[in-house]
Amino acid sequence: MSRTKPTVVLTRKLPDPIETRMMELFDVRLNVDDHQFTQDELIAAIAECDVLVPTLRDEISADVLAKAGPRLKLIANFGNGVDHIDVAAAQSQGIVVTNTPDVLTEDTADMTMAMIVAVPRRLVEGAKMIQDDTFEGWTPTHMLGHRLAGKRLGIIGMGRIGTAVARRARGFGMTVHYHNRRRLQPELEAEVEATYWESLDQMLARMDIVTIHCPHTPATFHLLSERRLKLMKPTAYLINMARGELVDEKALIRLLKDGSIAGAGLDVFEHEPAVNPKLRGMKNVVLLPHMGSATIEGRINMGEKVIINIRASADGHALPDRVLPQRL
């Protein structure tokens, strides 16, 4: 990059404090009407900018990157997950990719815990009853759900978010179990009082609630396949706050419909933003519009990380949040 202000293209509108600070520091092209970039717009942007700031809905494939101009040196992703970017192709062209890790842990864990409460306690179903004016008064068997204390929670992916969920679950009196690529250090495992399962299949068959906290990669696509979903108890609940592609959604719908799984809480969907209409019609499912990390504080923290990475790149310093292909 030159020593002049780098040209930065934002593919979506970011929080006002972030855009304002970027305008002070860089030559910024804002997305004022917050529309979704087409592929042609992405290609036009990378042909003329120094830095692209995309979000998870921008598919930046090898074919798109092949049309990048010589100025493009940094893709500063606004988000932690980078499965929408061909990082290997970017690296082969001398383009660095960064992300925004470590800022959404508490927000996502909070919303996960909200889902863990909402699904078995039928909160959304009850709220709809009030909205529809069908509540006829309390009775001993009205809107019965299940308590959390004493239930077994199975966490798939015990990274920062999974560990934060474990701490919250212990506060609700739940027993924590987990499956992870690597076992936690003994002191951390003891802190959250978690039981490690090397076999995901074995864990799934024993849990009352299962929550997913893995990245989407080719290796984790349909991690919860139909076969694995069928291992879950008919009284169990599934929570997915990670990526929709981790779950075979069609199989999940079938199992929810026939009572093989008691219920689900989904903040993400396999073909997002499309939501299968069969899911929308189910009383035992809580659906949210990908808002697990949606706090003002979190979005500003993400933007601050993007700014730090752009400034480091412009100044020729090491980038604190660089993503390498082998980490995916």
Q: What is the pLDDT of residues 268-305, one digit of tens each?
A: 999 999 999 999 989 999 999 999 999 999 999 999 99
Average confidence (pLDDT) over 6-22: 98
What local confidence, expressed as pLDDT, does residue 217 receive?
A: 87
- The Cβ-side half-sphere exposure at 51, using a 13 Å CA radius, reads 28
The pLDDT > 90 percentage for the chain reads: 95
Q: Flag whether pLDDT at 327 surpasses 60.
A: no
- Residue ranges and CATH numbers for the domains of the chain are 7-103+295-327 (3.40.50.720), 105-287 (3.40.50.720)
pLDDT tens by residue, 241-251: 999 999 999 99
Alpha-carbon distance 175 to 173, whole Å?
7
- Rounded mean pLDDT of 140-167? 97
- For residue 328, is pLDDT > 50? no
Whole-number mean pLDDT of the chain?
95
* Long-range contacts, 311-315 (Cβ 8 Å, 24+): 311/25, 313/1, 313/6, 313/51, 313/73, 313/74, 313/76, 313/96, 314/1, 314/6, 314/26
Give catalytic residue positions.
243, 272, 290
Cβ(32)–Cβ(75) under 8 Å? no
pLDDT tens-digit series, residues 82-130 = 989 999 999 999 999 999 999 999 999 999 999 999 999 999 999 999 9
> Which candidate, 33, 74, 89, places its Cα nearest to that of 325?
89
Per-residue DSSP letter, 51? E
- Per-residue pLDDT at 255: 98
Tokens 């349909």 belong to: 222
CA dihedral of 80, 156, 164, 279, whole degrees rounded to 10: 80
Confidence check: pLDDT of 175 > 50: yes
Paired tokens of 306: 């993007």
Mean pLDDT value of segment 189-199: 97
Q: pTM of the full predicted structure?
A: 0.88
Pairing status of strand 194-196 against strand 263-266: unpaired
- Between CA 284 and CA 270 the distance in angstroms is 19
Predicted local distance difference test score (pLDDT) of residue 124: 95
Could you tell me if 280 and 128 are in contact, meaning their C-beta atoms sit under 8 angstroms apart? no
pLDDT score recorded for residue 81? 87
- Which secondary structure element, helix H or strand E, spans residue 312, and what is its range? helix 296-314
Neighbouring-strand partners of residue 16? none
